[in-house]
Amino acid sequence: MLPPGYGLREGSGLDRAKLLKFMQLTYHELFPEQQDFSHLAETVESYFSSKTPLWWVEPKEDRPSPVACLWLGNAVDQVTGDRHAHIFLLYVLPEHRRRGIGKALVDSAENWARARGDRQMGLQVFQTNQPAVNLYRQLGYQTQSLWMLKPL
C-alpha cells in the first residue's frame, strides 16, 4: 500500500520516453562518472512491450508528475525452467525516498506475479547500491548467483 498522498498508475506504450528518462536518472545517480547513457534507449526499445508492465507513482495533486517507477519483465529460472517476473527497474526520486514507496512497489509487483501464477520474483541490483540491497534483503530477497565481470 502506497503512503498517503500518492497514487499508482499503470503505464502504457506511450511512456517510452518517460521510462527512458527514469532509467537515465537511475544510472546517472549510480555511476556519476559515466556521462553517456544513450544506449539505454536500445534497452527500452528491445524489452518494453505489453508483456513487460510499467507502473508510475504520482502524488495526488492537480498536475501529477511521476516520482517513482516500476518496470517488470519476464525471466526463466535456468535451474527449474519456470517463467517468473523480473524487476527491470525500480526507481524513486531522491526527495521521495524513505517513505515506503519502494516497498509498496515491490509488494505490487509480487502481487501481480502471484496473480499470474509465478512462484518467484527476480531482480539484479548493483552491489554499490547499498540502500537498494538493504531494502531487498528486508523484503526477503536472497542472493542466488553472482554476476561477475572482468575488464579486458
The residues near 129 (Cβ < 8 Å, ≥ 6 apart) are: 30
In a domain, 77, yes or no: yes
In a domain, 145, yes or no: no
Pull the grid cell for residue 141: 530477497
- Residue 98: which CATH number? 3.40.630.30
Torsions phi, psi of 71, nearest 5? -125, 125
Pull the grid cell for residue 97: 525516498
Which structural domain, as residue segments, surrounds residue 63? Answer: 6-138
In a domain, 31, yes or no: yes
In a domain, 1, yes or no: no
pLDDT by residue, tens only, the chain of 152 residues: 899 999 999 999 999 999 999 999 999 999 999 989 999 999 999 999 999 999 999 999 877 799 999 999 999 999 999 999 999 999 999 999 999 999 999 999 999 999 999 999 999 999 999 999 999 999 999 998 888 888 89
In a domain, 146, yes or no: no
Q: How many domains does the chain have?
A: 1
